[in-house]
């Protein structure tokens, strides 16, 4: 499976976040054994360290075009692949990390609060990123009149939307856009080299009447994510913003 999603952005990343009800093991031996197993499976992940927050990180070379990473926090296990050449490479990594977490970290279906699958798209733009997103997504709408009729400048436009994908809301999708602008940048015209990030997250919650199977949940989220991104997110969100950038 080729990474066709990468064709629509300057950078693409695919992450998972497993949220737990109970604290994850933080003991030296357990953490090292798990990270050693991850590194053995993915040799490029050679940089191991602990953040000031206490989170443990194992990652590849962040200066490279593509790299993998994993982070173990008190109640969250995260795995990510930045600019994967193939989507399946990232999916396989996440499936492996989740599967081994049961054995090394003792994660049980009783312990799962939610599982997130995050598709991320970065679009480079040097300028008022709020204005470019606002123009791409709101042009001609009623909300756009706040700008057109007052001759104002967009200062903070980072829309977020969450939808339920089933009747009991056990699977949800969240669209979030991050512009990284500030009033100082807009006022002075000195814009930092930061991208516009579009995050599309599929989140699965445990259902009261069934065990939460990590492998099955990930598979379902992949199906939902790829369908919605292909049909809606790329043509209705990402392409319009990319076109607005190109027109500048």
- pLDDT tens digit string along 64-107? 999 999 999 999 999 999 999 999 999 999 999 999 999 999 99
What SS3 state is found at 200? Answer: strand
pLDDT of residue 143: 85
Q: How many domains is the chain built from?
A: 1
Lowest mean pLDDT among 3-7, 14-18, 239-243: 3-7
Check pLDDT > 60 for residue 1. Answer: no
**Model confidence at 2, in pLDDT bands (50, 70, 90)?**
low
Most confidently predicted of 138-142, 199-203, 205-209: 199-203
pLDDT of residue 4: 84
Average pLDDT over residues 115-139: 95
CA nearest neighbour of 185 among 125, 123, 232:
125
Check pLDDT > 70 for residue 152. Answer: yes
**∠ Cα 206 27 213 (to 5°):** 20
- Domain region containing 37: 4-246
DSSP for residue 208 = T
Q: Is the pTM of this model over 0.75?
A: yes
Residue 83 φ/ψ region, left for φ over 0, alpha for ψ in the -120 to 50 degree band, beta for the rest: left
CA 130 vs. chain centroid, Å, equals 20
pLDDT of residue 40: 97
**Model confidence at 171, in pLDDT bands (50, 70, 90)?**
very high
**Model confidence at 167, in pLDDT bands (50, 70, 90)?**
very high
């Amino acid at each position: 499976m080729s990474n066709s999603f990468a064709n629509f952005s300057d950078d693409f990343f695919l992450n998972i976040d497993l949220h737990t009800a109970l604290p994850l093991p933080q003991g030296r031996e357990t953490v090292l054994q798990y990270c050693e197993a991850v590194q053995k499976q993915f040799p490029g992940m050679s940089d191991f360290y602990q953040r000031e927050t206490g989170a443990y990180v194992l990652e590849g070379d962040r200066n490279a075009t593509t790299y993998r990473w994993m982070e173990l926090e008190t109640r969250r296990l995260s795995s990510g692949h930045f600019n994967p050449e193939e989507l399946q490479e990232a999916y396989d990594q996440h499936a492996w990390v989740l599967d081994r977490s049961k054995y090394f970290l003792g994660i049980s279906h009783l312990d799962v609060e939610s599982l997130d699958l995050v598709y991320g798209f970065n679009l480079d733009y040097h300028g008022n990123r709020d204005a470019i997103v606002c123009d791409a997504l709101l042009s001609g709408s009623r909300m756009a009149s706040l700008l057109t009729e007052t001759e104002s400048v967009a200062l903070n436009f980072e829309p977020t939307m969450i939808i339920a994908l089933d009747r009991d809301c056990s699977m949800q999708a969240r669209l979030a856009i991050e512009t990284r602008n500030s009033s100082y940048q807009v006022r002075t015209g000195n814009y930092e080299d930061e991208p516009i990030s579009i995050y599309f997250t599929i989140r699965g919650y445990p259902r009261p009447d069934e065990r939460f199977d990590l492998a099955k949940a990930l598979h379902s989220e992949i199906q939902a994510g790829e369908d919605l991104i292909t049909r809606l997110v790329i043509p209705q969100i990402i392409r319009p913003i990319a076109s607005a950038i190109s027109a500048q």
